Amino acid sequence: MTTYQDQDFDAERYNAARPTYPDTFYDHLVEHHKSHGGSLDLALDVGCGPGFVAFKLLNYFKQVIGTDFSPAMIGHCTKDPRVEFSDKIRFYATPAEQAPEEIQPHTVDLITAAEACHWFDHPKFFAESARILKSGGTLAYWFYFDPVFVGNQKATDLVVEWLYDSSKKKYGDSYERFFGPYFDQPGHDIFRTTLSHISPPESEFKDIVRHYYHPHENEGGASFTPLYIERNVSLETFRSQAKSWSGYHNWKHDNPDKPDAADELIDKLAEALGVGLDEPLHVVYPTVFTFATKK
């Protein structure tokens, strides 16, 4: 996926705008890992983006490595003082399918990929994960998906329309107002399927667990899934999240003189929700996580 490699991609906006993962999920992941015999020496966060998962793993592992093929993302990570003043964490600009040279076969305890695995070459990524994981090590990847505005399906549908449709095809617009055609493929379509058809190979992994949650399909929220993400956000905050999408970045690059598509989306959401731009809104994100143990 090439967008995040652009030198002008705003990694700081991405980091500030995106939802984070609850502490309960990290605890659940580490307990799962330990229950399958995993140790806590080295964790590798692949597709680390601005590094918030990698830094979180410092609470559990002796050493952490973060990798991302985006120089902008890695540059953001290496400026963090937690890197400058620690010998426990380091970052490399490498693709997901190729670990840094310093990582030897069968030396990694945990591999994580958060909100990233849809961009990978999955057979190559799974093969590389199997090559560097210890026996009993854990491969874990997870996602949050398109936001659900609780109690307002029209607003939820608007976001889906902007993310996946084409306004030129759907409404005959003279220029593209939606982001759908501007996301890199096939990753964006794979993301939309919640990776339901992709799984680590059973020849290399065992005890493969996939846990999916959607607020319209599963009751219980945080009692149903440890990866429960809800936010009380204003439309101004959501505007920042929309402008962190890679599809928006690409749209803006191609349409610098057109009315801003993210701003138009926010105006449509304000109308559908009947709220001001600074009023808190209850948003829940569908999520899925997959854990697999290296044989």
For residue range 21-39, list pLDDT tens digits in order.
999 999 999 999 999 999 9
Residue 85: predicted pLDDT: 83
For residue range 45-69, list pLDDT tens digits in order.
999 999 999 999 999 999 999 999 9
Asked if pLDDT for residue 1 goes beyond 80, the answer is: no
Asked if pLDDT for residue 5 goes beyond 80, the answer is: no
Asked if pLDDT for residue 9 goes beyond 50, the answer is: no
**Segments of the chain assigned E as strands:** 42-46, 63-67, 89-92, 108-114, 133-144, 148-149, 205-213, 229-233, 281-285, 287-294
Residue 187: predicted pLDDT: 95
* Mean pLDDT score, 133-140: 98
Band of residue 17 on the pLDDT scale cut at 50, 70, 90 = low
1: helix, strand or coil: coil
Distance CA 97, CA 127 (A): 8
Q: Write down the mean pLDDT value for the chain.
A: 93
Which residue from 175, 143, 159, 136 is spatially nearest to 295, judged by alpha carbons? 136
Neighbour count for residue 136 (Cβ, 10 Å): 16
For residue range 211-252, list pLDDT tens digits in order.
999 999 999 999 999 999 999 999 999 999 999 899 999 999
How much of the chain, in percent, has pLDDT values that exceed 70? Answer: 94
Question: Could you tell me the residue ranges of all domains in the chain?
Answer: 3-147+183-230+285-294, 148-180+234-281
For residue range 165-208, list pLDDT tens digits in order.
999 999 999 999 999 999 999 999 999 999 999 999 999 999 99
Which residue from 188, 193, 222, 249 is spatially nearest to 11, judged by alpha carbons? 249
* Mean pLDDT score, 68-74: 92
104: helix, strand or coil: coil
Q: What is the dihedral of CA 224, 229, 232, 233, to 10 degrees?
A: -150
163: helix, strand or coil: helix
Half-sphere exposure of 156 (CA within 13 A, CB side): 16
The answer to whether the peptide bond before residue 280 is cis (omega within 30 degrees of 0) is no
Band of residue 278 on the pLDDT scale cut at 50, 70, 90 = very high
What is the assigned CATH class of domain 3-147+183-230+285-294? alpha beta
Type and span of the H or E element at 181: none
Phi (first) and psi of residue 257, to 5 degrees: -105, 5
Residue 18: predicted pLDDT: 75
* Mean pLDDT score, 132-136: 98
Asked if pLDDT for residue 91 goes beyond 70, the answer is: yes
